Each structure stands twice: as C-alpha cells, then as structure tokens.
Amino acid sequence: MERPVRAAQRPSRLAIIGQPVAHSLSPVFQRAALRAAGLSIAYDREDVAPDQLSDAFTRLAAEGAGGNITIPHKEAAAGLIARCTPVARRVGAVNTFWTEHGALVGHNTDVDGAAATIKALCSSDVVDPCDLPVVLIGAGGAAAATLVALHDLGYRHITIVARNTARAQALSARLSIPSQIASMDAVDVAVGAAALVINATPVGLRDDVFPVAVSALSARCAVFDLVYRPGLTPWIAECRRAGLRAEDGLRMLVEQGAAAFEAWFELPAPRVAMWHALNAVPPTYHAS
C-alpha cells in the first residue's frame, strides 16, 4: 500500500481559491473539522480571477498557507504551482495545496473522494470490479480524477462517453487507462449494460437536464453524479425513485475534504463533524 501523502509542515491558515467561490461548502465542513480537532486555524474563501492566480499563489506561499482549489482553476494550478504530488501530476489537476520551504505543493484529493463514493455504491457487489462494465460521462478534469479512481479500484471495462470524442481519446491515452470511447449520441446504448454510470459533467448543476434518461439504465445499475445540489440533483432523485443505488457529489465533496485535512495535519479527519455541519449523513446500502 502506498504511503499517504502528507504535508511537511502545518499550514498557517487555509483558504479555498476559485471564481465564483461564495457558494462553496468547503469552509462550512472544514471549519467544523478544525473545531472538532481543536485547531485554531482560519479557513476562508478567496475569489480569484484567472489572471490573478499566479500572484495569489505567490502570496499564499509567502504566508505559509494551505487550502483547496475549485473551478475554474484546478487544471491551471497544476502548471503554476511549484511542485505537484504524483497523483496531481497524473490527473493534471490540483484541488489541495500546502506550503513547504516557502513554495506551494499541489495535490489532488478528488481521486480519494471519487473512490470513496464508488466503493460505497458498489460495496454490496460480490463481483470483481474487473468484470463490471462502467460508463463515465465526460472528459474534463473531473472525469480525469474519476477515471484514475476507477482504474486504481480495479475497474477495467470502462467506456467514456463525451461530446468531444477526440478529447475522450486524449484523456484515455494521457492517463494510460484503456477505455472504449462513445459519443453522446450513443449514450443510451452505452449505459444499458453498465453496472455503474458516472456523470462527470456539469449537466444538472444549475438546470434540471439529465445526463442520460433514467429509463435507459439497467435495473441493477449504480449511479454516481459528481454534481451536488441541496436536496439532490433531479437526476439522482429520479434514479432513487426508480429504486437504483444513486448518489450525488456530496460524499465525494466530504471525502476529498477529509483527505485534504489528513494531508495538512496528519490527523484523522473528524468525518462525523464534517457531515453534521452539512446537516447530512452518508447514505448506506445493503447487499441485495
């Protein structure tokens, strides 16, 4: 087992960097985690425009800060931060950072968050993951982290469905993860035999559009939507009404935050406090 990635020194303060960032839930549950762990460290939101990102990183490094990075900066950060961990380099995106010896280190805990959700959804399956067909919708930065998580968990029959099939081919090649590629025109056919379907696009974030019709999904399919909204995304709500095991991105959000907390402080993340701060509990499933 690989040794967990840990910061060499504790951050002086924490911040989430993005634009927009006012809606971010990370300060809500990370502040709760800090209180539960007895750590007197601030966690703030910082709205940073793309053309201000490099200057913001210089300032944060000088402060000895750490934190998280959200849209639209995750991929740009990988090219601006002084050093990236192997997983951040592999994914090509940074969502967690800290300072070591006056320079920022970029890490990616989205892989941890995706893996935790996939394991929770599919834990009752007794079939080896290698034998389970998976459909991943999307070919951007979120899809990259999810594809790495799938591969590391042992899934080998993966189909990437994307509007831009060339981008999906490039993603598969860059990560050296063999995948079938399909266009969105063929999404209904692709998901029909899938044991797990994952939406890694922004579809449903601010509208009621479904990434794929629920009627096209297998009756024993598990569904994971990286998007999260108060009260579930409409797609996940409809999947649950159809009797499917289905989760939005809330567990991924908490678990990537927990992995970041453990990297910053080398302490167990107080997950109960984190979930409680969001007025939520992680869903559980039973073998069927």
pLDDT, tens digit, 9 for 90 and up, residues 83-135? 999 999 999 999 999 999 999 999 999 999 999 999 999 876 556 777 899 99
159 DSSP β-pair partners: 135, 180
pLDDT of amino acid 244? 96
User: Which of 74, 157, 245, 251 is the catalytic position?
Assistant: 74
Average pLDDT of the residues in 190-199:
96
pLDDT band at residue 287, thresholds of 50, 70 and 90?
low
Contact criterion met (CB below 8 Å) for 120 and 255: no
27-86 residue pLDDT tens? 999 999 999 999 999 999 999 999 999 999 999 999 999 999 999 999 999 999 999 999
Handedness of CA 235, 237, 243, 249 (dihedral sign): positive
Angle, CA 45 vertex, CA 41 and CA 51 arms, to 5°? 125
Tell which residue, 206, 196, 200, 255, has the closest CA to residue 234: 206
pLDDT of amino acid 1? 43
Average pLDDT of the residues in 215-222:
95
CA dist 271 and 282 (Å) reads 10
Domains of the chain: 14-108+251-277 (3.40.50.10860), 112-248 (3.40.50.720)
pLDDT band at residue 285, thresholds of 50, 70 and 90?
confident
Residue 161 backbone phi and psi in degrees, to 5: -110, 125
Predicted TM-score (pTM) of the model is 0.94
In the Cβ-directed half-sphere of 207, how many Cα atoms lie within 13 Å?
6
Active site annotation includes 119: no
Question: 148 by DSSP, 3-state: which?
Answer: helix
pLDDT of amino acid 284? 85
